[in-house]
Amino acid sequence: MYFHNILYLSYLMVATFFYYLLAFPIIISASMVFYKGRLDDAMRFSNHMYGSFLVRISWPLIRIKCVGRENMLDNTPYVVVVNHRSTADIFFGPFFTPRNTAVFVRSWPFKLWFVGWFMRQAGYIDIEKTDLSLFCEGEGRNLYKRGVSFLFFPEGHRSRDVKLLPFCSGAFIAAVEFNMPVVPVCMTGTEKFLSMNDHLVRPAVIDIDILPAVHPSSFPEERRAVKLKKHVESLIRECLNE
């Protein structure tokens, strides 16, 4: 098992090397043109492509079953919330988020040497160091106006026993503030792919269920973010229990 993991990790490192040597310059140049010189937009697009690339070249070790893609919204930024079972979750984001999505994560990934740099360049948000209300007034509004979607892991950290942890409110406060629909996503199998017990990788089927969007305006104004949060939490809980 250790040998296979070392082999797989080496394979990913070689693939990453060639990706960044060959594909990255083309992708970043084209997206800098498309996004009119905005580096963070271009890097988010590049990260999206890289994550998708890594998962696809890992077939058949990783097999994706994704339903509900028709629930991904067209032509509008939105908030995606997904349950969190594994450190690898972020790499599956490209299967249920639009190409220009800012990811909200805790501080520790930003400290990783290679990954952290790309996250910072892409303008991912460190939720432990960000004041949400200031964010909504400033950078958040800027991102929203540019059509950037947001990805949150509202449990805050990985669930150790696959049970859904209580949701934090950040995603829903942002959704209410900008009147962005929330698309709930249920993802299972990542905890089997990358086990938190022994940090080893195993073959897994990743089931992704994208649920219909929930609009903040469907809830009365008073305590809207809380009601939205509770409802989305119940949708994801119900989906996971099926």
Partner 1 sequence: MSLRRVVITGMGAISPFGIGMKTMMDGLYSGQSAVVSQKAEWEWQIKDLNCLVGAPVKESLPSKSISRQYRRTMGPTAVMALLAAQEAIVNAGISNSFISSGRTGVSFSASTGSAESLTQYFKEFFKSSSLKNISSGSFFQVMSHTSAANIAHVLNIKGRVISPDAACSSATQAIGLGYEAIKYGLQDIMLCGGSDELNAIVCGSFDLLNATSCRFNDKPTQTPRPFDRDRDGTVCGEGAGCIILEAEEFAIRRNIPILAEIKGFSTLSDGTHLAQSHSDSIVRCMENALDSANLTSDDIDYINAHATGTILGDIAEAEAIKKVFGSRMVPVSSLKGHMGHTLGASGALEVAASVRMFNDNILIPTLNLKHPGEGCEGINHLMDIRRGKIRTFLKNSFAFGGINSILVIGRYSN
Q: Give the integer Cα–Cα distance in Å for 110 and 192.
A: 24
Estimate to the nearest angstrom the gap between the alpha carbon of 205 and the chain centroid: 18
**Which C-beta is closer to partner 1: that of 157 or that of 215?**
215
Q: Which of 214, 225, 236, 239 touches partner 1 by CB under 8 A?
A: 214
Binding characters for partner 1, 44-73, by CB under 8 A (x = yes): --------------------------xx-x
**Identified binder of partner 1 from the candidate list 51, 98, 181, 189, rule CB under 8 A:** 181
The answer to the question of residue 227 lying near partner 1 (CB under 8 A) is yes
Residue from 161, 221, 241, 242 touching partner 1 (CB under 8 A): that is: 221
Interface pick for partner 1 out of 138, 179, 202, 205 (rule CB under 8 A): 179
Rounded least distance, CB 30 to partner 1, Å: 22
150 with 172: CB under 8 angstroms? no
Q: Is 133 in the site for partner 1 (CB under 8 A)?
A: no
Q: How far is CA 146 from the centre of its chain?
A: 18
Of 163, 180, 164, the closest CA to residue 172 belongs to 180
Chain centroid to Cα 137, Å, comes to 23
Residue window 75-114: x/- pattern of binding to partner 1, with contact defined by CB under 8 A: xx-x------------------------------------
Binding part of the chain for partner 1, among 131-139, 160-168, 188-196, 227-235 by CB under 8 A, reads 227-235
Q: Which two tokens stand for residue 204?
A: 């897994």
SS3 of residue 233 by DSSP:
helix
Spatial distance between the Cα atoms of 187 and 240, rounded to a whole number of angstroms:
8
CB 142 within 8 A of CB 123: no
